[in-house]
Amino acid sequence: MRRPLLLFLALAASLAGCDTFAPASSPTPTPLLSGIQGVVLLGPMCAVPTAASPCLEAYAALLVVFDTDGQEVGEVTSGGDGTFRLALPPGDYVIQPAAGGDPFPRAEARNVTVLDGEMTDLEIDYESRDRAVDPDS
C-alpha cells in the first residue's frame, strides 16, 4: 500500500511544476484603430459639370499603399459604392491608385499621414474622358 502512495506522490510532485494541464493564455491582439477610409469617384461623367451636379460616380478600384521607403504595406479595393477602409499603423504613406485603363481612367498618387487612433478620410478621384464631349467616342 505504501508503494502506490509513494508513486502517486512522486507523480503529483512532478506534475505540480508543469504547465501541462494549465490552459494556454495567449495575448489578445489589439485591433488597429488607425488607418485610411474614404470613397473613390470617377468623373466627369457628363458634358458640363457644375457645383450642383459634379458628374461623379462611385468607382471600384484597387488602391496600393506604400510606406516612405517604397515598400508595399497593404492594398484595398473599393466597393461598388466606391467606399474603402484599411487599418494601418500610424505613419506616412503613399496611396497609389491602380490604373483603370490606357490611358483612362487614371488617378494620381496621394500622400497621407495616419495618426494614432484616427481613421484618415480620403477622396480618390479618377479622371475619365467625358463621352458626351469626346468626338472619338
Which domains, ranges and CATH numbers included, belong to the chain? 35-127 (2.60.40.10)
Give yes or no for residue 9 having a pLDDT over 60: no
pLDDT in tens, 57-110: 999 999 999 999 999 999 999 999 999 999 999 999 999 999 888 889 999 999
The pairing of beta strand 119-127 with beta strand 110-114:
unpaired
- Provide the pLDDT for residue 22: 47
Coarse DSSP helix, strand, coil percentages of the chain, rounded to the nearest 5 percent: 10, 35, 55
Give yes or no for residue 30 having a pLDDT over 80: no
Report pTM.
Answer: 0.69
The pairing of beta strand 83-87 with beta strand 35-43:
antiparallel
